[in-house]
Structure 1
Amino acid sequence: MPDAGVGQGQRRPTEEETMRLIKPALMAAAVTLIGTLAVHAQGLDEIDPEIADRVFNPELLDPMQPVGPSAWRDWKAKNPPPWTIGYASSYAGNTWRAGAMDELQNEIIPYWKELGMIDEVIITQSNLNDSTQIQQMRQLVDQGVDAIFVCCSNPTALNQTVAYAAENDVPVFSMTGYLTSEYAVNSSVNYQLAGYELGRWMGEEIGGEGNVLIVEGIPGTSGSDSQDRGVRAGLETFEDIEIAGTVAGMWTDQVAQGEVQRWLATYPGKLDGIAVQSAAEMGVLRALAQSGRSEIPITIGGELGALCYWRNNPDYVSAMFHVWPPQNDIQLIWNIMMRTLQGQGPKMQSVLVEPIRMTYDDIASLLPEDCDENNPGWLDVPKEQWGLDPAFIDEFFLRPADPTEYAAQ
């Protein structure tokens, strides 16, 4: 019986002939493999392995979080400073956005203008309308801005606009959530990790059993969806915990208060805890008080009013989690943006940091006894404690340097 592939009367090729035939294919495969390995060696593989293992643990990382090499590694702004920056904000209706905007207008802009590095920051608001935000971003590009940053946006809706900006030599930076475009540079807490810690803490806080209500942020945004996925994963580690329901608090106290009140009015069972995405905890606390269930523990984030409530009720919960201090969040993306404009070369698409866990003693040392439970502000944590240590940020750049010194060059 003839060998497969060799017909009757045909001669089997010699080993030398076979190698001559397949050598081009082997060489092509080798080149492809080397190229793949070279790309893999960029980005995540270039940062400190301890940071990579701790903050980019694949088991606690949103599977859509971009962690490949940045498209802006070898780029530098086409214009010298002072630069014009666009801030295409998606929403302005909660205390977090107000805190970030205050930091931008009263701290960041005056400081970097004095350094001579920015001329103007053009701010737009889209009120959660993707089409409006897309239009505003394209207008910013057409106006000639040098860079754009956005906040908390839909992870995919802006991608074509981000590509349009890149075609015009304008990088786009996303804080408090990621954009999946290969041309975006992102910064935030690892929200899935943060959500997991919140879910695990809630499970332990209620003794490993009971019914928990989940209060999401703004569904459809990466920050909300990543954190929600983590919360559920954390709760699922307890066999005797049931998710009693889910409402969208929209990261807004007034919205969360109304949604939780309506949910409580129709829920006949026992509720043991509420996992809340900040900024909505004050609204949830008010809803519980009005329903006569103030003893139910919730997850507390950075809202000063909620922290003051805990300050005045020491036995209420055992810890808080600061997932997104607005002052630090906007300072971090601004630092990354300035470094990129200066040609420092971001190694990868996302710069992630860890959430901060604090105890009652921590809060008691930061808030006075006469604090105000209606305070709409946010706890400001030390910059170096949350992602703004220069040595930490340096890890994510190929040519790191103090960005405040650039104007003197």
Structure 2
Amino acid sequence: MFRKLAFTATLLALTASTSLAEGLDEINPDVAKRLYNAEMLDPGQPVGASKWRDFVAKNPPPWKIGYASSYAGNTWRAAVMDELQNKIVPEWKALGLLSDVVITQSNLNDSTQIQQIRQLVDQKVDAIIVCCSNPTALNATVKYAADKGVPVFSLTGYLTSEYSINSSVNYQVAGYEIGKDMADQLGGKGKVLVVEGIPGTSGSDSQNRGVLAGLSTAPDIKIAGSVAGMWTDQVAQGEVQKWLATNPGKLDGIVVQSAAEMGVLRAVQQSGRGDIPVAIGGELGALCYWRNNPDYIRSSFQVWPPADEIELIWNIMMRTLQGQGPKIQSILVDPVKLSHDDLKAVMKEDCSVDTAEWLKVGADRWGGASAYLDDFFLRPADPKAFKK
């Protein structure tokens, strides 16, 4: 049903002619070539040997985990929290491997998040998950945690600290495919508005770099402008409405980072320019619009399905606490391409554009499957089967 993204001929030609980043000789060579190729990897993405290869948790389970979130103001964060609190926590407590999860929110304030992480370490958590943070601002605090024997795991984006363990899609590859797909849909010519996420975060900047590269594959595609949607529908709707009001000329397409596509769709429709194609990610409301307007776009790309993302980093964290030994600093997965036929198979015609929920891809398609994750660990095993 869902398909891991098949690279375009252009991307294959590019990757075939370039060398792989260093530190990847222990993982599957096909995965290394596909997702860790130096030309299609964010230059800041840390991919060297992990500092936690020989780590043994200082305490036996059940473990106490900290989740230092940087933001709570969009549907994606709400979906992560729902999956964490209502599925992951009960499941792992029942396994006897989790005692508690302590959650903090910093509202995009680096200093606050730094303070909260240090407090979590001082509260004797066994590991910390951070979300979507500035790639460099937390590094000293990550080292503080490491010195106390507490590994820090970065969800949906990377930290540049040599002591962080990161997981995400390869955002530059995903952005490239989204941008190229829009360029192809427009027949290789036209004006496109780019809606970024939160500039300065690794996931947003990496994906935007890929989007621009994908659009540039067609020399007659022009960037009409760029706004920051802040991964939030309400923000993106307001920013795009303002842009459209002050730029009444022809606009042929909008590339937007999820979670903001529903806001962009509303802005376009309210402006009376509802025929402009908007890139759609994982928000079910936007997917419902496409479900009932099959010619609107050609494809949807799943870049960070929230339930799958938190499950992926959780499994990586538990494997590390169990002493399985992560081989490298960043575990990357493939974006998933969704056709309209794929969407019809999982979404009924009576769906609602007003839903705030997200599509769940499933662990077997989002790197969480044992066979895929096993390759990134020195001593792989089923983390749910761990015995004290």
Normalised by the shorter chain, which TM-score bucket? over 0.9
Cα contact 1:173–1:337 (8 A) shared by 2: yes
The letter for the 1-side match of 2:179 is: G
For residues 358-392 of structure 1, the C-alpha deviation after alignment (integer angstroms, 9 at most, x for no partner) is: 11011011111110010100011122011111100
Does the Cα contact within 8 Å between 1:43 and 1:70 map onto a contact in 2? Answer: no
Per-residue deviation, 1:42: 8.2
Q: TM-score by structure 1 length?
A: 0.89
Query: Which residue of structure 2 aligns with residue 111 of structure 1?
Result: 91
Task: Report the secondary structure of 1:264's partner residue.
Answer: helix
Which residue of 230, 237, 241 maps to 2:221? 241
- Decide whether the 8 Å contact of 1:300 with 1:321 is kept in 2: yes
In structure 1, distance between residues paired with 2:36 and 2:297: 29
Match of 1:380 in 2: 360
Which SS does the other structure have where 1:150 is aligned?
strand
SS in 2 for 1:211: strand
Secondary structure of the residue aligned to 1:399 is coil
RMSD: 1.1
User: Which residue number in structure 1 is paired with residue 236 of structure 2?
Assistant: 256
CA drift of 1:54 comes to 1.0
The corresponding residue for 1:397 is: 377
Q: Provide, for residues 211-253 of structure 1, a one-character-per-residue CA deviation record: whole Å limited to 9, x for no partner.
A: 0000000001000000000000111111101101000000000
* Residue 185 (1) aligns with residue 165 (2): yes
Offset at 1:337?
Answer: 0.3
Q: Is the 8 A contact 2:22 2:47 kept in 1?
A: no
The one-letter amino acid paired with 2:299 is: A
Moved more, 232-241 or 254-263: 232-241
Which whole-Å CA distance do the structure 1 matches of 2:121 and 2:181 have between them?
Answer: 44
Q: Are residue 337 (structure 1) and residue 325 (structure 2) matched? A: no
Pairing 1:52-91 to 2, within 5 Å after superposition: 52-91=32-71
- Distance in 2, Cα, partners of 1:154 & 1:143: 23
Q: State the Cα deviation string for residues 333-371 of structure 1 (Å, max 9, x = none).
A: 000000000000000000000110011011011111110
2:167 is paired with a residue of what secondary structure?
Answer: strand
Which residue in the other structure is 1:137 paired with?
117
1:353 partner letter: V
Deviation of residue 84 (structure 1)? 0.4
Kept in 2, the 8 Å contact 1:193–1:230? The answer is: yes
SS of alignment partner, residue 386 of structure 2: helix
1:406 matched to 2:383? The reply is no
Structure 1 Cα separation of the partners of residues 265 and 278 of structure 2: 8
State the alpha-carbon separation in 2 of the partners of residues 282 and 41 from structure 1: 37
Query: What secondary structure does 2:25 align onto?
Result: helix
Matched, 1:197 2:177: yes
Q: Which of 290, 299, 302 is the equivalent residue of 1:310? A: 290
How many residue pairs align between the two structures? Answer: 369
SS in 1 for 2:204: helix
1:166 and 2:146 equivalent? yes
* Residues 200, 234 of structure 1: 8 Å contact kept: yes
- Answer yes or no: is the 8 Å Cα contact 2:21–2:36 preserved in 1: no
AA of the residue aligned to 1:184:
S
Aligned mates of 1:385, 1:189 — CA distance in 2: 12
The CA distance in 2 between the partners of 1:263 and 1:384, in whole Å, is 40
What letter matches 2:186 in structure 1?
Answer: I
Q: Which among 186, 189, 196 is matched to residue 209 of structure 1?
A: 189
1:13 matched residue in structure 2:
none
Take 2:293 and 2:358, find their aligned partners in 1: how far apart are those partners? 19
Decide which of 296, 299, 307 is 1:319's aligned counterpart. 299
Q: Counterpart of 2:91 in structure 1: which amino acid?
A: Y
Separation of aligned partners in 2, 1:46 and 1:296: 46
In 2, the alpha carbon distance for the partners of 1:107 and 1:192 equals 30
Q: Which has the larger radius of gyration?
A: 1
Structure-2 separation of matches of 1:219 and 1:394: 33
User: So what's the TM-score if we normalise by structure 2?
Assistant: 0.94
Contact 2:21 2:47 in 1 (8 A): no
- Alpha-carbon distance, 1:41 to partner: 11
Name the CA distance, whole Å, in 2 between partners of 1:156 and 1:286: 35
* Residue aligned with 1:46, SS: coil
Q: Following TM superposition, by how much is the alpha carbon of 1:286 offset from its aligned partner in structure 2, in angstroms? A: 0.2
Question: 1:164 is matched by which residue type in structure 2?
Answer: Y
Structure 2: how far apart are the matches of 1:236 and 1:316?
Answer: 22
8 A contact 1:196–1:231 mirrored in 2:
yes
d(CA) in 1 for partners of 2:143, 2:368: 28
* Structure 2 SS opposite 1:134: helix
Distance 1:259 1:41, change over 3 A: closer
Whether contact under 8 Å (2:326, 2:377) holds in the other structure is yes
Instruction: Give 2:12's aligned residue.
Output: none
Asked if the contact 2:69/2:131 (under 8 Å) is kept, the reply is yes
Amino acid at match of 1:320: S
Task: Select 2:261's aligned residue among 277, 281, 296.
Answer: 281
Counterpart secondary structure, 1:138: helix
Is 1:45 the counterpart of 2:32? The answer is no
- Amino acid of the residue matched to residue 27 of structure 2? I
Give the aligned residue type for 2:114: I
Report if the CA contact (8 A) 1:42-1:347 is conserved: no
More helix by percentage: 1
Shift of 1:268: 3.0
2:79 maps to a residue whose letter is G
Alignment-derived partner of residue 17 in structure 2? none
Name the CA distance, whole Å, in 2 between partners of 1:379 and 1:188: 17
Does the C-alpha gap of structure 1 residues 42 and 321 become closer, same or farther in structure 2, counting only changes over 3 Å?
A: closer
Q: Which amino acid aligns with 1:113?
A: K
